[in-house]
Structure 1
Amino acid sequence: MSRSTGQRSTLVLGTRASKLALQQSEMFQARVQEVAPGVAVTLKRIQTSGDKIVDVPLAKIGGKGLFVKEIEDALLSGEIDFAVHSMKDVPTQLPEGLEILCVPPREDARDALISREGRLFKDLPPGARVGTSSLRRQSQLLHARPDLRIEMLRGNLDTRLRKLKEGQFDAIVLAAAGLRRLAWTQEITEYLDPRLSLPAIGQGALGIEGRSDDGFVRDILNRLNHPPTRVAVSSERALLHRLEGGCQVPIAAYATLVDDEIQLEGLVASVDGKTVIRDAIRGTIAEAQALGTQLAERLLSRGADKILCAIYGTA
């Protein structure tokens, strides 16, 4: 397909084909149509490696980037004009020629517990089977409750909920944002406090990726950008970039903005949850990315480097 970066009347939005990805993309498609009513936006479903491989832990097949690579290839070839990603799936290093052009307002960043019998996290029985595909969640849950059995849970949200209801797990932990976007909040037993389960970098936020030289798309997407969310996510991603972490390493960060200040909390944990290194930093919004790097350095100096070396097998 020929690549166009000038003005046009039709744009193609690339998306994964899962129910949640389509919902997120359709919501954003509607917003684009509102700010650019003269431009028709069509959706193109793209299957990614992460969608094809559902029976292996993400950490064993490459982790971060598995849900975006094929979509980025379509962007670079001109097959699509922009793409909607869950920000937590986007690597900190993007291919040359691509960038995140827009970060819309963030949804709830917290993790959510769904338990089969309606029990809160603290009330789960000893040895309860808790399903998650995230080493970040696993490490923090085990740190709080080493008596639990954390088991791998892959698949789309509806698949994960079905496995819970079939009795394969006593509880599962999911991102609250996805459940809220699908209007499935009635399934949530408990929103987990970030002091118990610090969210993934970018959790709850969307990242709209496009070609760096496409001024037409950039202009449209800029109207939908939410600067406070973009600042918060950029601080979290700066921490991740310094730690060179993928989405399947027990790294967490969550930034909040109050007036002109940003507070960033960060965490690195061992997979078994026995060691958790956590710290926080505060500064001005203008320092957002520098604060992320500084907090990462502090975590490394307190022993996060040893945890990461052990996980990456470079100890």
Structure 2
Amino acid sequence: MPVFQVKHFFYALILFSLWACRPEGASSLIEQGGNSPQPSGLKLYKITGSKTLGAVLMPALLEAYLRQKGVQALEKSKLSGAYLYRWEQDGKKLRLELLPKGSQAGFMALAAGQAQMAMASKEIEDSLLAQLPALKEEQRLLLAYDALRVLVHKEKAEIKQLTKLQLGKIFRGEVRDWAEIDPRFSGPIRLYLRNEQSGSFHFVQRILGELGAVHKQQENFDYLLQDLANDPNGLAFAPYELPAGLSVSTVAVAGRKANLQDLQYLFRRPLYLYLDTLALKDPFWLDFMAFCQSEAGQKIVAQSGFASLAPSL
């Protein structure tokens, strides 16, 4: 092989190696779906974050929005908990990945430029805010309200309510046996929570303080509810909408039952969408956020088991 051909071959090999070993964040410009060049005319969008929002509500909102925009031949696939949407519009190929991984993961992806939108079941923390360029008010959208239930196994259904003080002591590990709550029962209190990537975990921690008691964490509420249904000594926080037929019972907190509309219920919480700064320049995201707060979008919120921004819906 001539010398110049060998030299060009090795240059090409080096360039290919650099491309193949590029860090994950290097693809973030493509994933932003903004004004940067896209491969083969493909425009990529990404939403990640809260599983509370990403399981049912966000797919329903996205699909209704795209239908309203007249999108034809919309393809939807699901793999390992992620949804992938493909469609064509105005001669362009578009792809959107919806990846529910927990509120913390959504915030981190937003800060790293790896997603345009984060779903969150809590407000963003100051420590993460420092990683984002001055977050503008229009980048945060109040989408809906949720209410976490406090649940026990059906065998403990006679325990009708707990106070905030009792819950705090239980989750700090100061109260460990059911006999300390109700003398009719005994046995170690076993606790079930979402994992620390979830907004639910951090929301409960903000209300009750440090969750220092031994507890089992689950990636999603489905597994958590299965654990509780199989444990007569269990206690858990769970979503407002529950599957039918579970051997669980809701406990009132400070005299108030779980209620989406009750502003005084201790574990009622707002749910948010956070938008990346660059995405503010993309009409797709601005239009989608407007749809989420529209009457049509808020009807979907109510139908999905959350409290809409308009109580009458």
TM-score band by shorter chain is: 0.3 to 0.5
Using the size of structure 2 for normalisation, the TM-score is 0.46
Q: Is the radius of gyration larger for structure 1 or structure 2?
A: 2
